[in-house]
Amino acid sequence: MKKGFKKQTYLAGMGFALVEVILATAILSGGLLMIVRVFPLGLEIEQKVERYSTASLLGQTLMEEIKRRGYDDLSEALPEDTNGQGIGEGKFEEYQGYGYEVGWWDTETPNLRKVRVRVLYGKAGAEDRNNPRQYLELVTYLARYN
């Protein structure tokens, strides 16, 4: 046997250098920061969709109530002004921050009225120019049946 041979270990050359660990940590941190920045945008979009859905349901409910009451009740609820139209507004009591405007106009066709329901939501007031009051508008026609 020859003397002078060194015994090799299996661990020689294995493992990570400190530079590799720092680089991997920096890449992972950058990726996590990008993911964390996306979460507030998702929450904001979810809130916008929820407000729009609520406005849509409230508008459809109000429009169906107007259609159920009919042509003549519309004249009683919103009397005609000098321009041949009726306009009214109100708030949804159970839904804070939601209001509505209802308007009707006589059309050129006899016994036919155009009805518009506008559901207002979002922040009100001119002081908030970055986030003005939003609205959803629904339009239908009502006919008088004899």
Q: What is the pLDDT of residues 51-99, one digit of tens each?
A: 999 999 999 999 999 999 988 888 888 888 877 789 999 999 999 989 9
The range of the structural domain enclosing residue 57 comes to: 18-143
Whether residue 3 is contained in a domain is answered as: no
pLDDT of amino acid 57 = 96
3-state secondary structure 73-136: HHHHHCCCCCCCEEEEEEECCCCCCCEEEEEEEECCCCCEEEEEEEEEECCCCCCCCCCCCEEE
Whether residue 10 is contained in a domain is answered as: no
Whether residue 84 is contained in a domain is answered as: yes
pLDDT of amino acid 92 = 92
- Residue 101 near residue 88 (C-beta atoms within 8 A): yes
pTM exceeding 0.85 = no
**Cα 142 to Cα 144: distance, rounded to the nearest angstrom:** 7
Structure token digits, residue 109:
């066709």
Whether residue 105 is contained in a domain is answered as: yes
Whether residue 32 is contained in a domain is answered as: yes
Query: How many structural domains is the chain composed of?
Result: 1
DSSP state of 2: -
Q: Which of 48, 40, 55 minimizes the C-alpha distance to 95?
A: 55
How many Å from the N-terminal Cα to the C-terminal Cα in the chain?
120
Whether residue 11 is contained in a domain is answered as: no
User: pLDDT over 70 for what percent of the chain?
Assistant: 84
